[in-house]
Amino acid sequence: MTSTHENAYGAVPAFETVLIGYVLEDTWKIQAHREEVVSGIIRIPTLTFEARDANGRKALVKVLDLRVNDAAPDELKDLEMRLKAFNYQRELIARLSQERLRGVVRALHSGSIPVTGAPLGRVFYLIFEWSDDDLRSQVALQERFDVGYALRVLHQAAIALHELHYRQVAHQSLRPANVVFLANHVKLGEFSCAIDGRRPRPDGAPVVDWTCAPPEVLYQMKLESMNSRFLIDLYQFGSLIAYVFSGTSLSSQLGQHLQPIHHWRRWTGSFADALPYVNHAFGDVLAELTAHLPGECREPLLTAVRELCAPDPLRRGHPRNRAGQGPQHSTERYISLFDRLAKRMELGIPGTLR
């Protein structure tokens, strides 16, 4: 593959600046570096860029950051693990893209190009569909985010999650920034924390973003199965409901209602011992959330959050699924719920929705 670089520079500037102007696969040219807000999450270190092709289409480029981490106990092993984890992510998103899942951001290309001054003399990249908006910006635009629209967004997010779980993939980072909008359709992006149930991650299971992590993760309970990973996704989906209508994540609200001695940052006991205190705080969070939910569909939304975000993962999910009528982590019943609620709002049917 041939690369071109239009920048003229003497001394080597910041690596982010060096890459501006390089042309990647299929004429995609890197235009600008994009700063990303990373909140309490361990994932594959990447740099994010905006690119355009010869037709002016935009795309998102993720470049693997292979600069040496001086703080790593073993710098070579750290670099090796980053390469393995990046390959794992690349192969996973390639599989998902080949299946053309409607609710998953599609990878357009992957590859590498030689870059002067880059670690190993090359950069390795992934090119994704472009999205101008994510759930954070949509929630901020209150005039656009009416109840019917919000319910349709949650309906599409539930479908996207079902598509992943059906293919034995746990996302594990369903935070608002990773729920994106392409042509008025909701898709899930950012798969650096995802786990493919068909094969283990080479770097083990990454830590889930604490801002949307369920209590069992925050209290460091050992997760021993793919089902436990799917239940993390279920909690995070329920947290999205709370975010859409209240503007804050459920886990952050939960932390505010816990006594300092019972908070996960100070707790030294087991998760089982902490659970009674977490359940009590969860009840307070639900009571507070009630006021933020739209009156016409408050009851079913509150019930959905209660089921999806139950602090005890054994009690998480729809009651019928927990009773054995389908996988515990299934979102199919919530797909039906949000579709029904959205349609009634779109049709203007009066009265309380159930």
- The pLDDT value recorded for residue 65 is 85
- The pLDDT value recorded for residue 142 is 54
- Kindly state the average pLDDT of the residues 241-247: 93
Phi-psi region of 11 (alpha: psi -120 to 50; beta: other; left: phi over 0): beta
- The pLDDT value recorded for residue 14 is 65
Domain of residue 230, CATH code? 1.10.510.10
Q: Of 104, 129, 154, which residue sits at a domain end?
A: 129
Please report, rounded to a whole number, the percentage of residues in the chain having pLDDT higher than 90. Answer: 58
Q: Are residues 229 and 86 in the same domain?
A: no
Residue pLDDT, tens place only, 250-289: 999 999 999 999 999 999 999 999 999 999 999 999 999 9
* Dihedral in degrees, nearest 10, Cα atoms 252, 255, 257, 261: -170
Distance CA 249, CA 243 (A): 5
- The pLDDT value recorded for residue 145 is 62
Q: Are residues 149 and 21 in the same domain?
A: no
Burial of 269 (0-12, 13-18, 19+ CB in 10 A): exposed
Indicate whether 6 belongs to any domain.
no
- The pLDDT value recorded for residue 68 is 82
- The pLDDT value recorded for residue 181 is 92
pTM for the model stands at 0.89
Higher pLDDT, 71 or 295: 295
Please report, rounded to a whole number, the percentage of residues in the chain having pLDDT higher than 70. Answer: 88
Q: Residue 69: give the domain boundaries.
A: 15-129
Q: Are residues 191 and 317 in the same domain?
A: yes
| Per-residue pLDDT at 118 exceeds 70 | yes
Distance CA 295, CA 6 (A): 57
Q: Are residues 141 and 123 in the same domain?
A: no
- The pLDDT value recorded for residue 11 is 33
Residue pLDDT, tens place only, 169-200: 999 999 999 999 988 789 999 898 899 999 98
Q: Of 129, 150, 170, which residue sits at a domain end?
A: 129
Residue pLDDT, tens place only, 90-111: 999 999 989 989 999 999 999 9
Residue pLDDT, tens place only, 35-55: 775 555 556 778 899 999 999
Q: Are residues 35 and 169 in the same domain?
A: no
